[in-house]
C-alpha cells in the first residue's frame, strides 16, 4: 500500500537559523586567521538582542559584534519595524577560554592521534531517489525556501515578503519506495502588514501557487515536474496573519534545527548539532564523513539507500565502530556487517584523518548554516575576512567537500564491481 512521508525546512531568516549562521560566521573568522582554533559557540536571538556564549582556544581576536551584525544584515533584517535589525540590536558576548580538561583529550603531539572532541554517535544517509542523493521531500522543502528568499531579494514579483519562513512537503511513495506525487505543500511566510486580512491571505496564497511554485518546478527534471499535479493540497499561511516573526516572534538558538540540517527525518540522527563547532567536534566532522561515505556507496551501486553510523569516545582517536544499514537494497551479495568491515578499510575515520580528507580546517561553514548541510553543491569560492586591527585575508576555499563523489572507483574496486 502506498505511504506518505513529510519533511520540512526553515528559511535563513528563521530565528534558529539566524543563530546558526552567526555561530558559523564566527567559526569561519576564527579558522581564517588561525586554522587550529578550537571553538564551540552558541548564539541566542530575541527581540532586539543577540547573545553569544561558548568556549574558544585561538590565537586570533575578533570583533564578534560586527560579525553578528553583518550576518543579520545579509539575511535581511534591516528595518526597525521587524523589531530586530542588524545595525541597532544589542550584541552581548560571553565567550570564554576552552576548558583545559577538554583540550587535553583532543590535542596530541602526533596530530594523527588527535582525540575525538566528544563522545557520541553520528549518522550519514544517502538515497538514489534524487540526483544529489537526498530525500526528495526535504530537497523540495529547501528549494521552495531558497526560491522564496530569491523572490524577497528581487522585490519585484512579490514585494511584501519578510525574512522568516517555513516550508513542508508531503510525498506519496509506492510500496517499492518510488515517489508518485506530491500530496501536500505547506508554506508559512512572514509578510508586511496589509489593510485587509482576507485580501492579504488570498494574495499571498495566489502568489505562492502561481509565482513561487512554478519557479521551483522549472528547476526540476521532467520526471520530478510530473509530481506537481492539480491535486496538491496547499496550506499557505494556514494560521492567517504572519507579520510578527523572526527573533521578535520567537527566540532563536543555535542547534535547534538538526533534522532540517540533515535528512528531514529519513535515516537517523545522533542528536548532536553542527553549527558553532570547529571540526575537532565529531558531532560535525563525523556527520559530514558518514554522509560522504553513504553518498559514495550509493553512487557506486552498493545499494539504493544507505545509512552509516560511527561512534566515538571523547579523547580517543579510533572510532568505537562503524555500522551500515542498506535497508534490504544491497546489490553486492554481502551482509550489512560485511559491508561495514570493507568500508572501515577504505575510510580512515579518526578525527584528524577526516579533517584532512574533507579539508575541514578551512572557513567553509557559514554557507552550511541555512538550507541544509547535506546535498549541497561542491564548489570553490573566494572569501574575504577582516580582523579588528584592519588585517584582511582572502582565501579560495572548497565548500561541501563531503558531497564529492571521489571514492566511487575505490569502493567499486573493493567490492569487485
Cell, residue 47: 527581540
- The answer to whether 59 is a known ligand-binding residue is no
The CA distance from 339 to 125, in Å, is: 15
- The answer to whether 14 is a known ligand-binding residue is yes
- The answer to whether 277 is a known ligand-binding residue is yes
The CA distance from 389 to 314, in Å, is: 36
- The answer to whether 223 is a known ligand-binding residue is no
- The answer to whether 359 is a known ligand-binding residue is no
The CA distance from 401 to 367, in Å, is: 12
- The answer to whether 25 is a known ligand-binding residue is no
- The answer to whether 79 is a known ligand-binding residue is no
Run of H or E residues at 205: helix 197-207
Neighbours of 2 (CB within 10 A): 11
- The answer to whether 166 is a known ligand-binding residue is yes
Cell, residue 252: 532563536
Q: Are strands 233-236 and 179-191 parallel, antiparallel or unpaired?
A: parallel
- The answer to whether 190 is a known ligand-binding residue is no
The DSSP output letter for 314 is B
Of 326, 319, 325, 323, the C-alpha closest to 286 is 319
- DSSP 3-state of 37: coil
Backbone angles phi, psi at 233, to 5 degrees: -85, 120
Cell, residue 159: 514585494
The CA distance from 154 to 158, in Å, is: 8
- The answer to whether 66 is a known ligand-binding residue is no
- The answer to whether 30 is a known ligand-binding residue is no
Neighbours of 107 (CB within 10 A): 16
- The answer to whether 42 is a known ligand-binding residue is yes
- The answer to whether 98 is a known ligand-binding residue is yes
> Do the beta carbons of residue 365 and residue 401 sit within 8 Å?
no
- The answer to whether 233 is a known ligand-binding residue is no
Annotated binding site for ATP: 14, 164-166, 241-242, 250, 256-257, 273, 277
Annotated binding site for L-methionine: 55, 98, 250, 281
Annotated binding site: 14, 16, 42, 55, 98, 164-166, 241-242, 250, 256-257, 273, 277, 281
Annotated binding site for Mg(2+): 16
Amino acid at each position: 500500500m502506498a505511504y506518505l512521508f513529510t519533511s520540512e525546512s526553515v528559511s535563513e531568516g528563521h530565528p534558529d537559523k539566524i543563530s546558526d549562521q552567526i555561530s558559523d560566521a564566527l567559526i569561519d573568522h576564527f579558522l581564517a586567521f588561525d586554522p587550529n582554533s578550537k571553538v564551540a559557540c552558541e548564539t541566542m536571538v530575541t527581540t532586539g538582542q543577540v547573545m553569544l556564549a561558548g568556549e574558544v582556544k585561538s590565537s586570533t581576536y575578533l570583533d564578534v559584534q560586527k560579525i553578528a551584525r553583518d550576518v543579520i544584515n545579509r539575511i535581511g533584517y534591516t528595518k526597525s519595524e521587524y523589531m530586530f535589525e542588524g545595525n541597532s540590536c544589542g550584541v552581548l558576548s560571553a565567550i570564554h577560554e576552552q576548558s583545559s580538561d577538554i583540550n587535553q583529550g583532543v590535542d596530541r603531539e602526533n596530530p594523527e592521534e588527535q582525540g575525538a572532541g566528544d563522545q557520541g554517535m553520528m549518522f550519514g544517509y544517502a538515497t538514489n531517489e534524487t540526483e544529489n542523493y537526498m530525500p526528495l521531500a526535504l530537497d523540495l522543502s529547501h528549494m521552495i525556501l531558497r526560491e522564496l528568499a530569491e523572490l524577497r531579494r528581487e522585490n519585484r514579483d512579490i514585494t511584501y515578503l519578510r525574512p522568516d519562513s517555513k516550508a513542508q512537503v508531503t510525498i506519496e511513495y509506492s510500496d517499492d519506495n518510488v515517489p508518485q506525487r506530491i500530496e501536500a505543500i505547506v508554506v508559512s511566510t512572514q509578510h508586511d502588514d496589509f489593510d485587509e486580512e482576507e485580501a492579504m491571505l488570498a494574495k499571498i496564497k495566489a502568489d505562492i501557487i502561481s509565482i513561487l511554485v512554478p519557479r521551483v518546478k522549472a528547476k526540476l527534471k521532467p520526471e520530478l515536474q510530473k509530481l506537481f499535479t492539480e491535486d496538491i493540497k496547499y496550506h499557505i499561511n494556514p494560521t492567517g496573519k504572519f507579520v510578527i516573526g523572526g527573533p521578535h516572534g520567537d527566540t532563536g538558538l543555535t542547534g535547534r534545527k538538526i533534522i532540517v540540517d540533515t535528512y528531514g527525518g529519513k535515516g537517523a540522527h545522533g542528536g548532536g548539532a553542527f553549527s558553532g563547532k570547529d571540526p575537532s567536534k565529531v558531532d560535525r566532522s563525523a556527520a559530514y564523513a558518514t554522509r560522504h561515505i553513504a553518498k559514495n556507496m550509493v553512487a557506486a551501486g552498493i545499494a539504493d539507500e544507505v545509512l552509516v553510523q560511527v561512534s566515538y569516545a571523547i579523547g580517543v582517536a579510533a572510532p568505537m565502530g562503524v555500522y551500515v544499514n542498506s535497508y534490504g537494497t544491497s546489490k553486492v551479495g554481502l551482509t550489512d556487517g560485511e559491508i561495514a568491515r570493507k568500508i572501515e578499510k577504505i575510510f580512515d575515520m579518526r578525527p584528524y584523518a577526516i579533517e584532512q580528507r574533507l579539508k575541514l580546517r578551512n572557513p567553509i561553514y557559514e554557507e552550511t548554516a541555512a538550507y541544509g548541510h547535506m546535498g549541497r553543491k561542491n564548489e570553490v569560492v573566494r572569501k574575504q575576512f577582516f580582523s579588528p586591527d584592519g588585517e584582511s585575508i582572502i582565501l579560495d576555499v572548497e565548500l561541501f567537500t563531503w558531497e564529492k563523489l571521489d571514492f566511487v572507483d575505490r569502493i567499486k574496486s573493493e567490492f569487485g564491481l
